[in-house]
Amino acid sequence: MEATQPGGIDAMVEPTLKAPVAKPPGRRNDRSTLLFLGPAGLLLAVFLVYPAIYTILLSFNRGRRGEFTEWVGLDHYISLLTGDKSFLDLTQFPPEGAIWNNVLWAVFYTSIVIFIGLVVAVLASRVRYESVIKAVVFLPMAIAATALAIIWNFVYAPDANIGLLNAILAPVTERGISWLGNPSLVNAALIGAGIWGSVGFATVILSAALKSIPSEILEAARVDGASERQVFFGIIIPMVSLPISVLAVTLLVNVVKLFDLIYVMTNGGPGTKSRVIAFTMYFESIPGGQFGRGAAVAVIMLILLIPIMAYNIRRFRSSRVT
């Protein structure tokens, strides 16, 4: 048998059996990535990162006219949290101040909006004209916050000839109630206006969540003898808990940055009784000219938002529903 000569057929076939070597990605892909991400990154840097850093640094400065004139350290924060009763007053119970007003908004506004929105969504899903109900309830969301505030200014007007609410209560009250001028009623009145403007949003979100519940589960529960109350609290609420939590986070974020409704309806009054954190930031910066103090309020607002957003991100990453 003849030996295969070097450089023969085997030598010619062997290179063709080798796997092709993958070429490293070129710089063209990197350049394309930068080309697409560059504009978005530039916008984020200019309109988000730079203002945030500037605000944080300004909060440690006197900040007159928005300039870095005198370093004051934590003076603004100490003054706001311990010496400014319009921002936080812990010397009495219940407390008062802008932070406490935001707490009231967070507790009552968020919980009532979610509860009413869920009830309306459940009831509307059982009638044929569900879309009409949702359209009517959602209508306030199409109204700008400024227009909504003006509408409720007329509703709360103490003159029964102008104010709708006092006209309704005229048979049981001797004279009109100053809903926005009474320190003990103003925050409840403002929260009521905010609830009216947000229930439609909650209804639409929760109605979409209810559609995702398999009807077989609800029918099986009713066949087994569960009452409507047991179905609502034992099945519906647990199965829409994730949309409820996302909705709650959205409403809490709106509460922390609430400004326009307060500005138009009461301008923080009577006195300072209806101020919230965002309104205090505006008042200290623009009319007051204390931009360093206003920046400190903005940083406090950011600190309050961080745990809310962190919870929201963790909730989205979790695979659990309850």
- Long-range (24+ apart) CB contacts under 8 A made by 58-65 are 58/291, 58/292, 58/295, 59/292, 59/295, 59/296, 59/298, 59/299, 60/292, 61/292, 62/292, 63/290, 63/291, 63/292, 63/293, 63/294, 63/295, 64/289, 64/290, 64/291, 64/292, 65/289, 65/291
Quickly tell me which residue has 């949309």 as its tokens: 243
Who's near 166: CB < 8 A, 6+ residues apart? Answer: 157, 158, 159, 160, 173, 176, 177
Domain boundaries, the chain: 99-281
Distance from the first to the final alpha carbon of the chain: 78
Average per-residue pLDDT for the chain = 87
Residue 153: phi and psi, rounded to 5, are -60, -40
pTM of the entire structure? 0.84
Q: Which CATH number fits domain 99-281: 3.40.50.300, 3.90.1150.10, 1.10.3720.10, 2.130.10.10?
A: 1.10.3720.10
List, for residues 235-271, the tens digit of each pLDDT value. 989 899 888 988 999 999 999 999 999 999 999 989 9
* CA-closest candidate to residue 155, choices 193, 210, 117: 193
**89 DSSP β-pair partners:** 96
List, for residues 292-308, the tens digit of each pLDDT value. 999 999 999 999 989 88
List, for residues 44-82, the tens digit of each pLDDT value. 999 999 999 999 999 999 888 777 888 999 999 999 999
Q: Please state, in angstroms and rounded to a whole number, the distance separating the CA atoms of residues 199 and 9.
A: 82
